[in-house]
Amino acid sequence: MLTFVGLGLYDEKDITLKGLEAVRKADKVYAEFYTSPLGGRTVEKMQRVYGRRISVLERSDLEENAEAAESGGILELAKSKNVVLLCGGDSMVATTHVDLRLRAIDREIKTRLIHAPSILSAVAGLCGLQNYKFGKSATVSPPYPHGCGGVISEVPYDTLKANKERGLHTLLFLDISMSVNEALGLLETVEERRRGTVLKNKKSIIVGIARAGSEEPVVKADYLEGLKSYDFGELPHVLVVPGELHFLEKEALVKIANFPAP
Amino acid sequence: MLTFVGLGLYDEKDITLKGLEAVRKADKVYAEFYTSPLGGRTVEKMQRVYGRRISVLERSDLEENAEAAESGGILELAKSKNVVLLCGGDSMVATTHVDLRLRAIDREIKTRLIHAPSILSAVAGLCGLQNYKFGKSATVSPPYPHGCGGVISEVPYDTLKANKERGLHTLLFLDISMSVNEALGLLETVEERRRGTVLKNKKSIIVGIARAGSEEPVVKADYLEGLKSYDFGELPHVLVVPGELHFLEKEALVKIANFPAP
């Protein structure tokens, strides 16, 4: 049996009691940290709190060698043992995990998910925005190194523009190594190229969030100019671009996210 | 201080270690169960596992009497004590909680959120669908009792139609007391009134999910006709209407959600 256990948002205490129980009962506990940020976790702290030894897997262990018996592959082991795979956020969010689960099912290995807190629902609460008003989300990635300066993906900008046109909020995931400030720089470059006004518009509020799930998350709303130079501190960061705001959402951005009241 | 602690998806073990720690350290622990389903929880089981007495609040305790000192209101107590409010799903998802948090801030009461697993991220993993491809969500509610048969809200149907047109997936929350089958009946009524073909279309896959987060969640994909009579068992239920599917998503619906392969 292969159980996918989410580690949640930030540190070793964001796992659920159900997740901890599965870890303690498992024959073997793996973890991977390449699909989501490590945040405030270390393998040592997790091992201490969970009381189990954890083997960290690389991308190649999950994507190529998973079936190889000779390398002690995770799927091979899961045929006869209770194997847990720990990963940040909620379980089965990354495509890699879906793919691994399908390969397990092909081999008649039972699979199970144990859910955990995710940035998807956390952002709504942290900003005081209504979760059902979020449209499609997207990821801001570093420029692809291609020619001078690299190629910047226009997908995140297009996504938030399409959501804005429908009055919807947008959650933008940032690359594991990227700050709010860097992401805003990339989005602004695309906006200038397009001669757009979605972000520069004086009415466009943007919210930066750092270290969601930690004891001291930073949630700061401002217009583009104000936010570009704001220091959010350590990673991980995400961005939210609100669409049309209900009066309670506006009040929340002022009181919770410190938006400079008009 | 007022700490909002999410209880997570289904039972008393879906709280995080961080949430449990806050409950155990609190001077007073409240819970409310009118904004989200009780699922597999009972107050007795929670009290036993968490080792604390829990006082269950009604809607009026949070919305009208919260400030009343004479009735031992939650905000009055939070001025001088560490108060925890437990609620299903992730914390601060319901408007009631945002409103309560803003009123706490107005009274200079420190607030904190402790996140928990939410249906918002769980559905993607349970179906094997990519989370960033979900558009706006909506709630299917029972007909408003107005005249013969009641008035059925058209918002959920409009939401999924708009998402479908953009190739996006839709999560439809169901009223606390509503089954997948009842919700499909209401959506079909709206579709017939509109002479629409979003759901009846022979290519439109729909996914019903029951008891997400439990040991035995049911995830079943089918066309409308097949799903209408499918027995999902006990509540809570939710619906997902996928938009355009990547080949890995299609494979997942067949292998994970038992979609009848073509």
Interface contact B59, partner A, CB < 8 A: no
Over the stretch B103-140, which tens digit does the pLDDT of each residue have?
Answer: 999 999 999 999 999 999 999 999 999 999 999 999 99
* Token pair 């998910």 in the structure block, residue: A113
Q: Pairing relation of β-strands B28-32 and A218-222?
A: unpaired
All domains of chain A, ordered by start, with CATH? Answer: 2-117 (3.40.1010.10), 120-255 (3.30.950.10)
Pick from B7, B12, B102, B118 the residue to mutate for testing the A interface (most A CBs within 10 Å). B118
Rounded mean pLDDT, A190-213: 92
Task: Flag whether pLDDT at A140 surpasses 90.
Answer: yes
Over the stretch B2-31, which tens digit does the pLDDT of each residue have?
Answer: 999 999 999 999 999 999 999 999 999 999
What is the spatial distance between Cα A234 and Cα B4, in angstroms, rounded to a whole number? 24
Nearest CA in chain B to A103: B255
CB B33 within 8 A of CB B88: yes
Residues β-bridged to residue B56: B31
Q: Pairing relation of β-strands B170-174 and B237-241?
A: antiparallel
Rounded mean pLDDT, B147-164: 88
CB B202 within 8 A of CB B223: yes
What's the token pair of residue B99? 């409103």
3-state secondary structure chain A: CEEEEECECCCCCCCEHHHHHHHHHCCEEEEECCCCCCCCCCHHHHHHHHCCCCEEECHHHHHCCCCCHHHCCHHHHHCCCCEEEEECECCCCCHHHHHHHHHHHHCCCCEEEECCCCHHHHHHHHHCCCHHHECCCEEECCCECCCCCCECCCHHHHHHHHHHHCCCEEEEEECCCCCHHHHHHHHHHHHHHHCCCCCCCCCCCEEEEECCCCCCCEEEEECHHHHHCCCCCCCCEEEEECCCCCHHHHHHHHHCCCCCCC
Rounded mean pLDDT, A24-49: 93
What is the spatial distance between Cα B196 and Cα A66, in angstroms, rounded to a whole number? 46
A105: which chain B residues are within 8 Å (Cβ-Cβ)? 255-256
What's the token pair of residue B56? 């269950």
Secondary element (H or E) of residue B186: helix B180-194
B20: which chain A residues are within 8 Å (Cβ-Cβ)? 17
- Among the partner-chain residues B102, B168, B252, the one whose CB lies closest to the CB of A251 is B102
Q: Is the CB of B13 less than 8 angstroms away from the CB of A18?
A: yes
Task: Flag whether pLDDT at A69 surpasses 60.
Answer: no
- Among the partner-chain residues A117, A125, A256, the one whose CB lies closest to the CB of B16 is A117
Measured over the CA atoms of residue B44, residue B50, residue B53 and residue B57, the dihedral's sign is: negative
Rounded mean pLDDT, A98-117: 95
pLDDT level of residue B90 (50, 70, 90 thresholds): very high
B9: which chain A residues are within 8 Å (Cβ-Cβ)? 115
Q: Mean pLDDT of all residues in chain B? A: 92
The percentage of residues in chain B with a pLDDT greater than 70, rounded to a whole number, is 95
Rounded mean pLDDT, A153-168: 95
Q: Pairing relation of β-strands B111-114 and B2-6?
A: parallel
- Among the partner-chain residues B90, B121, B135, the one whose CB lies closest to the CB of A125 is B90
Task: Flag whether pLDDT at B70 surpasses 60.
Answer: no
* pLDDT the model gives residue A17: 98
pTM of the model: 0.94
A2: which chain B residues are within 8 Å (Cβ-Cβ)? none
Of B210, B77, B161, A145, nearest to A153 by C-alpha is A145
